[in-house]
Chains A and B, each alone.
Chain A
Amino acid sequence: MRPGTFVRLALAGNRTDAARVALTALSAALAALAVLAALSVLAIQTPPGGPRQESEHYTNALLREPGLRGGTAFAILLLTIPVLALAGQCARLGAPARDRRLAAFRLAGATPGQVTRVAVLETGLASLLGTAAGLATYLVGRALLHRPDVNGRLALPTDVLPTVPELALVVLALPLIAAVVSALMLRGVTATPLGVTRRARRAGRPRPWPALLIALGVLGAALFEPIRRASADGLDTLLFAWVLLGTFTAVLGVVLAAGWISHRAGRLLHRYARSPAQLLAARRLTEDPWAGSRTFAALLAALAIGAGATAFRAWFALREQVWREDNRRAGISAFDDLDDQRSAFYLRTMDLVDLAVGVAVAIAAAGLLVMLIEGITARRRTYAALVAGGVPRATIGVSILWQVLTPVVPAVLLALGAGYTLGRTVNADIVSGGDWEPVCRATAELCADPATRDRHIEWVLAGGVVRSPGVPLEQLALLGGGAVAATLLTVGLGVLLLRPNTAVEELRAT
């Protein structure tokens, strides 16, 4: 088959196919923007004068301080997680119609390989278009946002540009990754002239083993401070990676646990169901509990990270308070301004994290909306038959609400709990008051020898009061409430589509 024919077939289809292509392109554009933004941060050159020399021409400390740029770039890259989750949801949009189209290609004489290539090409081309659009948006935005203030300082790194090979890599690698993922997703799919069959997904009911992952992740985080104290200098990067690994493990546990939560919630709801809406929701939850993991993965990951950030914020606030109190007790006021600046810096940093979490929740909600639309569209004939039989649309709408809310509330609580515990255990308790005393951390011989003793001396605060930051219930409630509210809004928007999808015309479609 000629390449032109492949492209035409890949981009053929109905409105739903067009929507899938557009959403895939949008996801790719957002992912490209996030990667380009991260590369821009990393492209900032440290001025001569040492590795800790600040780039004074930026207003934001996250860009100014060399030590913070890596973390900032990483935080921006984290935004690609919900974006990629959204792309994954988009790939499911209009799947039945696409399956029929692929079967029609086979019926027309296409080989299984050609059909797979058409499907993969669709994702690849859409991603390429999206990435190109993302690059164009980045370049235009960079020019438009390049507005130095009166002191010539910049709010964003609009004066630097990733290298051409880096730009080329983004434009080519993202679509390639999308195409490879698409090909992997099609491994269990067989397109025949009579239809598309899928290899059965994992069977059996979900088990609560993801709790082990959460426990492992939290344990890893809890070991951070003891390891840091016991280890030599220069292991910061390794320790950072250790915490990241712990965070990833715990968040993965939360996401996978959503499947078990869905199943349990479905069984519980089925036991106590009093209305058809509850019964429908309960059966759907037990029938495909992994849908919860797929659907809420990005939302739960964002919430867990957001909850961890609230723990950090509470810890920063307490530490600042303790420092101030200690300084005041010691009669030192010279550092007050410095304390204020430092507080403002940390709080601004945490504000940025909160903003990123908010964006992630919004993108995750968009993914949920896509899933809802797909679920309604896939069941439209059944829904239409039910409505024709006298089932009120409200019953179907309420069943969708039950189906989403029943697992999401406990899953959100779990994500908040796990994320907060993770953030809390990474940071040790803070000691207030007391006196600094030298303690030799070595053998008696080394400590007794004046030549080696100094190398093993560690200053320890003795006689102080150990203080723990309080649980930021208000912020956690805001985070969880916001996520549930976003979910409710999404369900409301999705349910609006019930009317066109339950029209009697759906019963006539073959």
Chain B
Amino acid sequence: MTQLQARGLVKSYGPTPALHGITLDVAEGEIVAVTGPSGCGKSTLLHCLAGILRPDAGEVVWRDQRIDTWPEAARSRLRRTEFGVLFQFGQLVAELTAAENVALPLLLAGTGRRAARTAALTWLDRFGVAELADVRPGEMSGGQQQRCATARALVTEPRVLFADEPTGALDTLTGEQVLTQLVRLAREQRTTVVLITHEPRIAAYADREIVLRDGVIDHTGLGLDASLAGGAR
């Protein structure tokens, strides 16, 4: 079942075009990797799909509802409740502990502090960083920070996770560990994942790979290692 659709997305930054009429469908529970060279429009596409940016033309449809016309507050609420977002770096609040960072989306949704902390600890444990619950980001390694950020992105059990170069700032081994955990948990939760990367190795974790070039879809294909990464799915 198609969960998220882009229809003829066009987006420019002033005179610089970023997207030239992109159309794609993402099915429920599917892991899609969007790849391509720097400046091809990958991040812009993700930001439009997640409702962070409004396209200049075209439509973004989420479960049969056109969300690109929604006001910002409604799109923010959608991101808070139905979507999770994950970036390369700089997303954890430096002053909050790991547990507080992970609990933040739940607190925003109105969950009590105790319940939010319990859920946060559970998710930190799933990513193997439960012992860092009361540690601040500045005292963690890059990999540990990204595990916490991933736990935060998934703590609300979103239907779609948007990940923009989530392992871009990590070394190869740590990046693969983080991504393996992310993919495993996403599959367990039946969470749809839109993953931006410029590394074919990372794209191999996806069910489908979409390659962008100069703001248009150059070609699509199956993730090279999708079955292996997905296990028995």
Contact (Cβ within 8 A) A273 B85: no
Given A507-B164, A508-B43, answer yes or no on A385-B76 (Cβ-Cβ < 8 Å): no
Contact (Cβ within 8 A) A388 B90: no
How many residues belonging to B are interface residues under a CB distance threshold of 8 Å? 35
Cα-based distance from A381 to B77 in the complex (angstroms):
20
B91 within 8 A of partner (CB): yes
Contact (Cβ within 8 A) A504 B53: yes
Contact (Cβ within 8 A) A389 B153: yes
B78 within 8 A of partner (CB): yes
Cβ–Cβ < 8 Å partners of A388 in chain B: 47, 50, 52, 79, 85, 87
Contact (Cβ within 8 A) B92 A390: no
Contact (Cβ within 8 A) A392 B73: yes
A387 within 8 A of partner (CB): yes
Q: Which segment, of A136-144, A167-175, A205-213, A276-284, faces chain B?
A: A276-284
How many residues belonging to A are interface residues under a CB distance threshold of 8 Å? 24
- Minimal beta-carbon separation of A194 from chain B (angstroms): 15
Cα-based distance from A379 to B91 in the complex (angstroms):
10
Main secondary structure of the interface of A (DSSP, over half): helix
| Chain B 78-119: CB-based contact to A (< 8 A → 1; otherwise 0) | 111101110101111111110010001101100001000000
A349 within 8 A of partner (CB): no
Q: Which residue of A lies closest to B164 (CB)?
A: A507
Contact (Cβ within 8 A) A390 B91: no
| Chain A 382-399: CB-based contact to B (< 8 A → 1; otherwise 0) | 100111111110010000
Contact (Cβ within 8 A) B73 A276: no
| Chain B 34-62: CB-based contact to A (< 8 A → 1; otherwise 0) | 00000000010001001011000000000
A287 within 8 A of partner (CB): yes
A275 within 8 A of partner (CB): yes
Cα-based distance from A390 to B106 in the complex (angstroms):
11
Cα-based distance from A508 to B46 in the complex (angstroms):
13
Cα-based distance from A404 to B136 in the complex (angstroms):
22
Cα-based distance from A385 to B76 in the complex (angstroms):
12
Contact (Cβ within 8 A) B90 A507: yes
Contact (Cβ within 8 A) B92 A389: no
- Minimal beta-carbon separation of A198 from chain B (angstroms): 13
Contact (Cβ within 8 A) A381 B76: no
Most buried by A among B47, B89, B95, B152: B95
Contact (Cβ within 8 A) B95 A287: yes
Contact (Cβ within 8 A) A389 B91: yes
| Chain A 245-283: CB-based contact to B (< 8 A → 1; otherwise 0) | 000000000000000000000000000011110011001
Given A273-B113, A387-B76, answer yes or no on A507-B87 (Cβ-Cβ < 8 Å): yes
Given A280-B96, A391-B104, answer yes or no on A381-B78 (Cβ-Cβ < 8 Å): no
Most buried by A among B90, B100, B104: B90
Given A283-B96, A382-B90, A504-B52, answer yes or no on A391-B76 (Cβ-Cβ < 8 Å): yes
Cα-based distance from A198 to B105 in the complex (angstroms):
32
Given A387-B76, A388-B79, A391-B108, answer yes or no on A279-B87 (Cβ-Cβ < 8 Å): no
A-B contacts, 15 listed (Cβ < 8 Å) = A280-B96, A287-B94, A379-B94, A381-B90, A382-B91, A385-B91, A388-B47, A388-B50, A388-B52, A389-B79, A389-B91, A390-B79, A392-B108, A504-B52, A508-B43
Residues of A in contact with B (beta carbons under 8 Å apart)? 273-276, 279-280, 283-284, 287, 379, 381-382, 385-392, 395, 504, 507-508
Given contacts A279-B113, A385-B90, A386-B91, 15 further A-B pairs with CB under 8 A are A276-B104, A283-B100, A284-B95, A287-B95, A381-B89, A381-B90, A382-B91, A382-B92, A388-B50, A388-B79, A388-B85, A389-B152, A390-B80, A507-B90, A508-B43
